[in-house]
Amino acid sequence: MTQKSDLLYELAWLSRPLHQEIEAAVSAMLAETTVTVRMRSVLEQLSKLGPSTVPQIAKALDIKRQYVQIMMNEVEAVGMVERSENPAHKRSTLFHLSESGAAIIRQIRDAEGKIIESFGRNLTLDEVERAHHVMEHLLTSFRTLNQRLKT
């Protein structure tokens, strides 16, 4: 095992504690709001993708549509999303952020952004870009591997 491979192995596994800590941080920051982590994640997708159907968001999050449906029902119930007039009711319901939903996710995103910004003070843009590239490479490598392993 080369030094490079060993370090890459370690790097890959950093994703576990990192993900753990990020979830904890997000959850702590949401604690005083009425938004849960899973509601936040739907709102985030809608703000990123624009008006979308449940199956589309499921694909983006790589989880089952049935679970996204639950999440979507929750945010709809509190009026954070609304159904769009769907051109000819083509296939399924299009959802979009309501005014309140848009405001809420913007606010959450801003608060999170400030924190991330402070984390970036010690890093250069170049460093972040290269790290991003390496992590993307790892991600697509694992995706390809899993594609192969599934069959």
Contact residues toward DNA (CB under 7 A) are 23, 27, 36-38, 41, 53-55, 62-67, 69, 73, 88-93
The CA radius of gyration of the chain, in Å to the nearest whole number, is: 18
Torsion of CA 96, 68, 33, 116, to 10 degrees: -90
Position 31, amino acid: A
**Joined tokens for residue 139:** 């991600």
Quick one: 24 or 131, whose CB is closer to DNA?
Answer: 24
Only one of the segments 67-75, 79-87, 91-99, 136-144 lies at the binding site for a copy of itself (rule: CB under 8 A); that segment is 136-144
Smallest distance from a copy of itself to CB 125, Å: 4
Contacts of 83 (CB under 8 A, 6+ apart): 76, 93, 94, 95
Quick one: 14 or 134, whose CB is closer to DNA?
Answer: 14
Give the whole-angstrom CA distance, residue 145 versus residue 148: 5
Position 97, amino acid: L
**Joined tokens for residue 116:** 């991330």
Smallest distance from a copy of itself to CB 116, Å: 5
Quick one: 29 or 78, whose CB is closer to a copy of itself?
Answer: 29
Q: Which residues in the 7-66 window bind a copy of itself by CB under 8 A? A: 7-22, 24-25, 28-29, 62
Contacts of 33 (CB under 8 A, 6+ apart): 104, 108
Q: Does 102 sit near a copy of itself (CB under 8 A)?
A: no
What does 89 interact with, of DNA, a copy of itself, none (CB < 5 to 8 A by kind)? DNA
Smallest distance from a copy of itself to CB 92, Å: 24
Quick one: 6 or 99, whose CB is closer to a copy of itself?
Answer: 6
